[in-house]
Amino acid sequence: MKLFFCPQTRAVSSRWAMEEVAAPHELIRLKFPEELVHPDLRAANPLGQVPTLVDGDQVVTESSAIALYLADRFPASSLAPAQDLRHEYYQWAFFVGAALEPHLLEFFLHTVRLPEGERSAERAAKAKEGFDRVLGIVNDHLATREYLLGEKFSMVDVILGSILGWAQMMNLLAGFDHVRAYFKRVRSRPAFERAVQD
């Protein structure tokens, strides 16, 4: 199994997922963006995206998809609920990308990424407002739970924990105490620490 990876990108989420399932793998470390032309990566994924996971004849992209794929592929890691009990598991997996991430991306574009002349303070403010509203829902949910699914860590915590890292870098977690405590909890896992090592 091969994971095409660039440090400090979304690919960290997939490396973290890989460390959680403790599967033997080859980590192909590429410099972003100039090494995305790597021939092995292009052969598996002509778009040259990271993360890309290659497992025999299966090629997986999208960090949330890679996380869920690995949890199912390595059931001994016990990071996915039984097949008939996945209502909350899938809900949170989709919620992060659909409800939380668009606001975060919009905020990032209009405060950091775009050239100053193209940034819109109005769009940044609206994104922050939307993000706060959605993160408030997560905060309420975590008030009485250690992890998204309750007492037990699961793969959806890798998905949320990864996105929160990005929010934290933009100082967007202030005031959400349950989220912050949760973030600290998931980021102190040895698998996460291994995922950010050189």
Partner 1 sequence: MKLYYSKQSRSTRPRWVLEELGLDYEIVPMDLRAGDQRQPEFRKLNPLTQIPVLEDGDRVVCESGAICLYLADRYCPGQLAPALDQRGDYYRFSFFIYNTLEHQLVEIFLHTRFLPEEQRKPERVAKAKELLKERLQIVADHLAERQFITADKFTAADVLVGSALDWADMQGLLTEFAGLRDYLERLKARPAYQRAHEVEVAKS
Part of the chain binding partner 1 (CB under 8 A), chosen from 27-35, 78-86, 107-115, 173-181? 78-86
Between CA 159 and CA 16 the distance in angstroms is: 10
Between CA 3 and CA 57 the distance in angstroms is: 14
Between CA 61 and CA 51 the distance in angstroms is: 6
> Which residues 85-144 are close enough to bind partner 1 by CB under 8 A?
86-88, 90-91, 93-95, 97-99, 101-102, 134, 137, 140
Choosing from 22, 37, 43, 59, the residue that interacts with partner 1 (CB under 8 A) is: 59
Between CA 3 and CA 105 the distance in angstroms is: 24
Part of the chain binding partner 1 (CB under 8 A), chosen from 13-21, 72-80, 110-118, 166-174? 72-80
Residue with tokens 């989220």: 179
Interhelix angle 11-21/155-169, rounded to 10 degrees, is 140
> Which residues 164-193 are close enough to bind partner 1 by CB under 8 A?
none
Amino acid making up residue 51: P
> Which residues 150-169 are close enough to bind partner 1 by CB under 8 A?
none
In the stretch 19-48, what mask flags binding to partner 1 with x, by CB under 8 A?
A: ---------------------------xx-
* Residue 96, CB-side half-sphere exposure with 13 Å CA sphere: 24
Q: Which residues bind partner 1 (CB under 8 A)?
A: 46-47, 53, 55, 58-62, 64-66, 68-69, 72-73, 75, 83-84, 86-88, 90-91, 93-95, 97-99, 101-102, 134, 137, 140
